[in-house]
Structures are given as C-alpha cells and as structure tokens.
Amino acid sequence: MNDVNITIIGAGVVGLATARKISGTYDNVFLLEKHNTFGQETSSRNSEVIHAGIYYPENSLKARLCTEGKNLLYNYCEKNNIPHRRCGKLIVATTPEESDIIEGVRLTAMNNRLTDLVMLDKDEIAELEPSVFAIKALWSPSTGIIDSHSLMKQYETDTINNGGQIAYNSEVSSIKRTLEGYELTVKEADGKNYSFTSRFVINSAGLTSDLIAGMVGIRDESIKIWYCKGEYFRIIPPKNRLLNRLVYPVPHPRLEHIGVHVTVDLAGGVKLGPDVKYLDSNIQDYRLTPSKQEAFFSSARKFLPFLEFDDIAPEMAGIRPKLQKPGEAFRDYYIMEESGRGLPGFINLIGMESPALTSSLAIADYVFKLVAI
C-alpha cells in the first residue's frame, strides 16, 4: 500500500496543468516543487505567447498538442477571466529569399490543419502595422498573449479545490523503485528529509527533468537536457506604442529558434527576443549581456526601420530545456510512460520547451491517459 496515489514533480505551467487535470479524477494527488512558489524557472521567463502551431513538423507532439492546446487555453481563459488578448502575429519577409521561406512555413501550417492563415502583401501589412517594413507576411489571427502568472495561479487554485496537495520548498533528492511503486525522498527548506511512497510518479521537472529520470536509473543520452539561454531587450517608451501585434522574422531552418521577434504584452510593453545561446554547463545563468545590444538592434531594424540604437535596453533572460543539441535537427517532446524500461507508473515529460505554455492543457490530457492504463 502506497502513501500517495500520484506524485507530480515540478510546479511549472505543465506540472500545474497536469496536477489540475489528474486531481479532478484521482484522490491522493501530490505536487512537489523545490522553489517557494510555482513557475520560477522557464514558465515565468518567456514571451507569454499563445502559439497557433505554425512551425512544427506534421504529426509531431509539438504540432498536435499546440493546436489542441491553443483552443483549450482560450476557452479556459475566457471561463476563468484570465487576462489574455488574441492580438495576432505577422511573420515577415524583408527579402525575396525570405518570401520563399514564408511559403514553406505556410505549407507546414496547412499540414498542421491551420486554416486561418492569410498571406499579406506590402500594402496589407502597412494597414495592420504601419511602422513595420516587410514585402510579404503570413498573418496568424489566432496567435495571442497571456498573463502566465494568472494562468498558473488558476491551475494551482483548481488543483487545491480538487483536493490535490502542493508542497513547495520540497526538492526530490532520490527515487527508488519498490514492489508497488516508488519511494521518494524529499529535502525541505530547513534541510530536513522525509520519504514516502507513491504508485505513480510524473516527472515534470523542466530544466532538471533528465536528472529526475536519472534517479530511477534512466541513463539515456537521447533525453539529456541542453540548457539554451535566451535574452530579451525591451523597446523603451514612447516607441513601444508604434507596435500592436507580435512580429516575427522567418524562422531558423532547423527550428533551433524562431528568430529575435517582437512580443507585445498586456500592459503595452514591447520586448525583442529571445536570442539563442547554448550554455556550456547546465547552470541556471540568468545574467544579462548588455553588449548584445548591437546584435539585437541590427536584427530587429531589418523590419523595424523606426528603431534607433538607444531605443532598446536589456530586459530579462530565460532558459529553455532543449532535447535538441546545437546544430541538430528538430526534436519533439519526450512524453513516455516507462513500462518499457521496467518502470511501470513512472511518466517522463522531458524537453518541455515552447510551445508548452500554449499546450499545457492538452499535455495534461495526454498525460492523464497515460495514468489511466
């Protein structure tokens, strides 16, 4: 007999959404988080975009869960009064070569069953965003922005209302296989340890998810997390008011990133970023690099001709938990119930980078089905 039915490790947006879903059906559900509150890593250091599901290869989890999750998320926001806005996004081409790339993006989106995208010419772009330079653009009206903190707070509230329990300042230090499940040892903020047993364990630990998997003996280089840092600059007022929508350049061919782009927020602020830098070690380094201003300025000015060098300033940094090595081809999410490795009831969620916020409700539904086996 186990102390706990289901334990979820990690209270980022995916862990919270999963706890919310599972606690709605099952009793004795626990969510463990090493920080003193939710969403302290990747979930609070991102662009807060509700993605449409445009870029990802057909039939990938990233494509399917994003398109499903987007609709679920908009409905959830409306039902729970979570601040959000369906502002739309322009993917812009500034050269004929980039125009050809945009056509490829459109075809990928069509394969992902996105039917609302519209190709715009220069005059049509100017009607939407007069301050943006582009010769062609792909317009995505269903892309939006969201207050991610309010979203995570609502997931937390739903979990508690469902009877789920959340333990903050609780860092998992070891996991051992038992006859009927798993024994977890947890270190609290005061340094004390306690242990308990759980029938199911769901590993949603984000940046340390591969380390959690390692605790039960999974040593698999193919699911090693690579820390990929992205920095943001903000556009200083009053020029932030020249933009009302998300504006993206054409994406990187291997989808390592989708380029330094313009993100508007619900308060009227405008960010540029993120850039991409793989870190040499998996240390959470959120320091800013003011010397990157020239690179950000040069990248953005291709489609924001009004921008002057001193119109931008360093804003923040985040780290993506990527499965994709530097220079490697596209990698999908790894979401797996690990009976095949002799670990029944252990479910890994590894490489949960963007569009995981958009996909969070759909990911939770997917994981729920793995628990009900």
Report the alpha-carbon distance of residue 112 to residue 136 in Å, rounded: 22
Q: Where in the chain is CATH 3.30.9.10? A: 89-141+226-322
Cα 48 to Cα 121, 139, 173, 266, distances in angstroms: 28, 19, 31, 10
Domain at 4-45+149-219+330-371: CATH code: 3.50.50.60
Domain 89-141+226-322 of CATH type 1.10.357.10: no
Q: What percent of the chain has pLDDT over 70?
A: 98
Q: Where in the chain is CATH 3.50.50.60? A: 4-45+149-219+330-371
Per-residue pLDDT averaged across 143-159, rounded? 98
Confidence bin at 253 (pLDDT 50/70/90): low
How many CB atoms sit inside 10 A of residue 135's CB? 15
Reported as a single tens digit per residue, the pLDDT across 281-324 is: 999 999 999 999 999 999 999 999 999 999 999 999 999 999 99
Query: Around 364, how many Cα atoms within 13 Å sit in the side-chain half-sphere?
Result: 25
Confidence bin at 255 (pLDDT 50/70/90): very low
Reported as a single tens digit per residue, the pLDDT across 72-89 is: 999 999 999 999 999 999
Report the alpha-carbon distance of residue 317 to residue 277 in Å, rounded: 11
> 108-112, 271-275, 350-354: lowest mean pLDDT where?
108-112
